[in-house]
Amino acid sequence: MSGLIKDNIFGSSGSIIAAAGGLSWQPVVTASTVTVSSGKGYFINTTSNACTITLPSSAEAGDQIILADYARNWGTNAITIDSNGLLFQGKTDGFIVDYDTAGQAINLVYSGATVGWTPASDIVSALEPVAPATQRAIFAYGDSGSLTSISNLVNSSGVVAADVTGVGTARAGLAASSYGGDKAIFGYGYTTGDVSMTNLVNNSGVVATDVSGVGTARNAPAAAEYGGDKAIFGYGQNSSSGANLSVTNLVNNSGVVASDVTGVGSIRIAPAAARYGTDKAIFGFGFAGGQLSVTNLVSNSGVVAADVSGVGTARHYLGAAAYGGDKAIFGYGDTGSKVSLTNLVNNSGVVAADVTGVGTARTEIAASSYGGDKAIFGYGNGGSGKVATTNLVNNSGVVGSDVSGVGTVRRASEAAGYSYSA
């Protein structure tokens, strides 16, 4: 599981004790793992170690389990709840649910298949689950002189692997994002014309065949993860009409793309987008009759906000990625000339001033998070043409020097994070 639920507070009214009256209380648990059953209460003693608690694999509405901090040590050694295939507060068991406050007690009630297990008590302050960061990344597609569908996997240390024979229609000018917590999706772009097809990537980095597109066909959109396990595509250009767009398409946690949503903010082509603040997203920069530095924040429900006056040098064909767990970075791009400057974004979505760039100036670059809290920029169109160069970004947002490229040189590819496993 993944996504933190912390600091649940229970009052002293005695409602939990009353609710527990019909349950069968079990001996104190001191082990590091335990599988629990409905209709029972458990005292969890984490004095010597943390404890992973596996919930039943099946349940009926109204089933109840109570967990209590026996020795007031959950603040030192937390408990982790594995929902074992069932939902927990509407989230799949690809989420980590941690309780780490001393003296906590948790009254879990199964509400049914739609929401699953839900903490219930007289006073509750429970944070929404937050997806953990992906560990690996994938670069795919692009223009190497001809359109390609090749991909390159990136491990949790930022090492790029050799080309993998492509799956799906060769294209460039597309966008990509994580979705479902540990998977990725590539979508839109151009072949002989603009397309709206997508390709899903599983948590092993395997790219699936084309899925018929939903929404307006377009090239040079941007995409980012939001809401912990969903994604959003936005902006771009429809070549057949010549129109720049502000349309968006939401992607659910199964990788299904929804129909067009009327856009908010400046119409534009070639912006970049990234997750920030753990469950929100930001679109930034782009081109519409000239380079822009405008940004648009996206809520954890996928709602796009109005334009925010830009900070930093206006440009397009740049890259963006999450880093540091809850921040983002925009980098490189085209100002009329190729640049390597970056702009950091804090966990409130505020964009900072330009940082002098590191590495080869280039446009049509791709970027992704990797390694849990770091980022990587790669490929693009450099001063001497297409490159396979990469630049790693540490968890403080510092960009490293050029790393000799691996794989086919190309521009207008895309990248996204996948896999919880390092």
DSSP states of 361-377 as a string?
-EES-EEEEETTTEEEE
DSSP 21: G
The string of pLDDT tens digits covering residues 104-159 is 899 999 999 999 999 986 444 444 555 678 999 999 999 999 999 999 999 999 99
List, as one string, the DSSP characters of 151-170.
EEEE-TT-PBPPPB---S--
The low-confidence residues of the chain, meaning pLDDT below 70, are 1-22, 121-131
Q: Which residues contact 97 (CB under 8 A, 6 or more apart)?
A: 1, 3, 4, 5, 80, 81, 82, 83, 88, 129
Q: Would you say 327 and 257 are in contact if contact means Cβ atoms under 8 Å apart?
A: no
Residue 5: what pLDDT? 39
Residue 405: what pLDDT? 80
- Choosing among 3.40.640.10, 2.120.10.80, 3.10.290.10, 2.60.40.2470, the CATH entry for 136-418 is 2.120.10.80
Residue 17: what pLDDT? 39
User: What are the structure tokens assigned to 357, written together?
Assistant: 């760039």
3-class SS of residue 402: coil
CA-wise closest residue to 192 among 164, 216, 220, 170: 170
- Burial label for 11, CB within 10 Å (0-12, 13-18, 19+), is exposed
CATH superfamily of 15-119: gp9 (2.60.120.640)
- Over its C-alpha atoms, the chain yields an Rg (Å, rounded) of 23
Residue 420: what pLDDT? 95
**Domain boundary assignment for the chain:** 15-119, 136-418
